[in-house]
Amino acid sequence: MQKQKATTMASWTLAACTLSMSNAIARPSDGPQTQSGTAALCEEAMVSPVSGHAECVRPFGAPVDAPPPRPSVVKLAVFDFELEDATPAAALTGQTTSTEAVLEKVSSEARRMLTESGRYMLVDLAKNDAEPVRAKALRNCEGWEAGIALRAGADQTLLGVVKRITQTDYYVVIQITDARTGKVLDQQAANFAGGPDGWASGVRMLLEHQVLAPIDGS
């Protein structure tokens, strides 16, 4: 009887060990691990065309860090671009040497690019009748645009200026300001060659390569 009982217990022990090993083999792995037992870091990942999620390919199966959260969309007040005409002809006659239609094209192109970037939601300024806005003289008002933009519900404001030096030489200056504090957040400028017909192109290049350049610098 004792011999039979010992044999039965040994069989149960063997079965339990076998089941435990079977479970260990069947249990899904938590991913590759280092010699110290910690999870291996992913060195190279790619987006799976099946799942649409990032998956580690080196070492295969390692956990992939979640991407950083996308920045929230900023409510931006974009004022009409202003002209500072420093050409000899303007100094002589006291009048600018361009038309409103050219500046309207410049402003429209800037608003299009800013909207399509996905970073900004443009605030409507159509009802604003402040004198510096109508006269396109905000550049001389030492930060008035911030208060105007804040009252319109904007987080930030963009003021752009085309400074014409000669008939075929001009600068584009773009300044982004915090509407609540009046602090200048970004200011970019670049020199371009060309007449008024090319101003919109100059603004587009400055926005694309400097103002809207990738945040991470890549």
Residue 99: pLDDT over 80:
no
Q: Structural domains in the chain?
A: 38-67 (no CATH), 74-211 (3.40.50.10070)
pTM: 0.65
* pLDDT number for residue 136: 87
Produce one character per residue of 176-196: b if its CB has 16 or more CB atoms within 10 Å, e if not: bbbbeeeeeeeebeeebeeeb
Q: Quick check: 40 and 31 in contact, CB under 8 A? A: yes
Per-residue pLDDT tens digits for 128-153: 878 888 888 899 998 899 999 999 99
133: CB partners within 8 A, 6+ apart: 79, 80, 125, 148
pLDDT on residue 102: 93
Coil, strand or helix at 185? strand
Interatomic CA distance for residues 216 and 51, integer angstroms: 26
Per-residue pLDDT tens digits for 52-89: 667 887 788 788 776 656 558 999 999 999 999 988 87
